[in-house]
Structure 1
Amino acid sequence: MPSIRVLGHAFRAWRRNRRWAKHEPETPYLADLLSGSPVCLHVGASDGRHSYVMTQVAPRAQIHAFEPSSFTFEVLKTCLAWHRIAGQVHPVHAAVSDMPGEMLLVTPKKTSGRLGRTYAYVAAQPPVGAVRPDMEDAGLELEPAQVLTLDDYCDGHGLDRVDFIRMDIEGAELKALKGAEHIIDRDHPHILIEIHPRMLEARFGGSAEAVAEVFRSRGYRMFEVRGDRLEEVADIDAGVPWRDYFFVHPERAADLPDGVFKARMAA
């Protein structure tokens, strides 16, 4: 039986989804990416908000949702059960990186004293100094986290095609993508990724530009939601703490449902 705290968090997430409330501005565009029976990887699934949306725009989608936090993983499973999509969304209690093993999940404490679970990230060692370079904190909480690579996971679970990846992992983007090179090269999946320039540099020895280059070097086109429009962009805005970007490969353009991405890719 989930704890009262888990149930409280899950209820708020469930109610928000049912009301279609407080979704990120990129969320409505998933309907222009997904159709049929896509295989989706939701990396950094949190309470499953994006997984829920995927099931609504592509009811036959098969979704694998990765979440390393023990508390949030229980919230995720509870939400999936309440939405009656547990058979469609497969929760995986793990973080994703460039090699399998075990790391630490670092969760900052906000200055209010509450845990900033949405700001948690994996690390080999506890951080020295500020927990994150892009927020004030009042300490941290640590827990062990199992780590896997997406290539290994897909190989081990017989996933011979991946259509879409949603990734929001607080600076570990470059490492996770390195561990997914095979499926990216094989399938050219659509990608929605939140890129964290400051975390990439301060905690993961990478850069936002290096993340973008993973896709540019493979011929992907990059898009960003600006206001109420989806615009193609050439560069990452490294001056913000984080921002979401879509990457779509021309090889997959013909398979897109009618909508804004198909129109942009034809331009």
Structure 2
Amino acid sequence: MPSIRVLGHAYRAWRRNRAWAKHEPETPYLADLLSGAPVCLHVGASDGRHSYVMTQVAPKAQIHAFEPSAFTFEVLKVCLAWHRISGNVTPVNAAVADAPGELLLVTPIKMSGRMARGYAYLAAERPQSPVRPDFEDKGAQVEPTAVTTLDQYCEAQGLNRVDFIRMDVEGAELKALKGAEHIIERDRPHVLIEIHPLMLEGRFSGSAQAVLEVFLSRGYRMFALNADRLEECSDVDVEAPWKDYFFVHPDRAADLPDGVFKARMAA
């Protein structure tokens, strides 16, 4: 039986989904990417709000939702059940990186004493405070988490095609993408990824530019929301601590549903 705290967090997410409230501004554009019965990987699934949107715009979608936090994973499962989309979404209690194994999930504690679950990230060792270069904390909660790679997971699950990846991993973007090189080469999936320049450099010895090279070197085109307008771009906004970017490959343009991405890719 889920705890009262789990049920409370799940109810808040469920209620917001039902009201279509407080979704990230990029989520409406999923309808311009997904149709038919796409296979989707939701990496850093949290309470599953993006998974919910995917099932609404593509009801036959099959989604694999990765969430490393033990607490948030319970919230995710409750939300899936309440929305009656458990048949569409496979929850996976694991983090994603460039090699399988075990790492630590570091969840900062806000100055108010509350858990900053949306700021949790992977680490090999317990960090000293401040635990993030972009967050003021009063310590952190640390828990071990299983780690897989997307390539390994897809092989084990017999996923012979991946159509879409939503990734929000708080600075571990480059590690996660290195563990997905095979499916990116094979399938050229559409990708919506949150890029964290400060975390990439400060905690993962990476860079936003290296993340871009994964896609741009393979011929992907890059889009981002600026204000309320979707615009094509070629670089990351380094002034922002994080920002979402869409990557769409020309080889997949013909399969896009009618919408803004199909129109832009034809231009």
Q: TM-score range by the shorter chain?
A: over 0.9
Which residue number corresponds to residue 244 of structure 2?
244
Residue 24 of structure 1: SS of its match in structure 2?
coil
Aligned pairs for 1:1-267 within 5 A = 1-267=1-267
Instruction: List per-residue Cα deviations over 1:202-254 (Å, max 9, x = no partner).
Output: 10000011101110000000000112211000111112110000000000000
Whole-Å separation in 2 of the counterparts to 1:196 and 1:202: 10
Instruction: List per-residue Cα deviations over 1:107-166 (Å, max 9, x = no partner).
Output: 000111100001000110011341000010011000000000000000000000000000
Whole-Å separation in 2 of the counterparts to 1:44 and 1:228: 25
Residue 225 of structure 1: SS of its match in structure 2?
strand
Unaligned stretches of 5+ in structure 2?
A: none
Provide the TM-score with structure 1 as the length reference: 0.99
Provide runs of 4+ in structure 1 moved above 4 Å.
none
> Residue type matched to 1:60 in 2?
K
Whole-Å separation in 1 of the counterparts to 2:70 and 2:167: 19
> Residue type matched to 1:6 in 2?
V
Whole-Å separation in 2 of the counterparts to 1:147 and 1:200: 18
Instruction: List per-residue Cα deviations over 1:6-41 (Å, max 9, x = no partner).
Output: 000000000000000000010000000000000000
Residue 245 of structure 2: SS of its match in structure 1?
strand
Identity %: 78
Whole-Å separation in 2 of the counterparts to 1:257 and 1:140: 43
Whole-Å separation in 1 of the counterparts to 2:56 and 2:140: 36
> Residue type matched to 1:123 in 2?
A
Instruction: List per-residue Cα deviations over 1:155-181 (Å, max 9, x = no partner).
Output: 000000000000000000000000000
> Residue type matched to 1:12 in 2?
R
> Residue type matched to 2:244 in 1?
D
Whole-Å separation in 2 of the counterparts to 1:36 and 1:252: 14
Residue 211 of structure 1: SS of its match in structure 2?
helix
Unaligned stretches of 5+ in structure 1?
A: none
How many pairs does the alignment contain? 267
Whole-Å separation in 2 of the counterparts to 1:240 and 1:133: 13
Provide the TM-score with structure 2 as the length reference: 0.99
> Residue type matched to 2:90 in 1?
H
Whole-Å separation in 1 of the counterparts to 2:207 and 2:220: 18
Whole-Å separation in 2 of the counterparts to 1:155 and 1:57: 27
Whole-Å separation in 1 of the counterparts to 2:20 and 2:128: 39
Residue 147 of structure 1: SS of its match in structure 2?
strand
CA apart distance, 1:53: 0.1
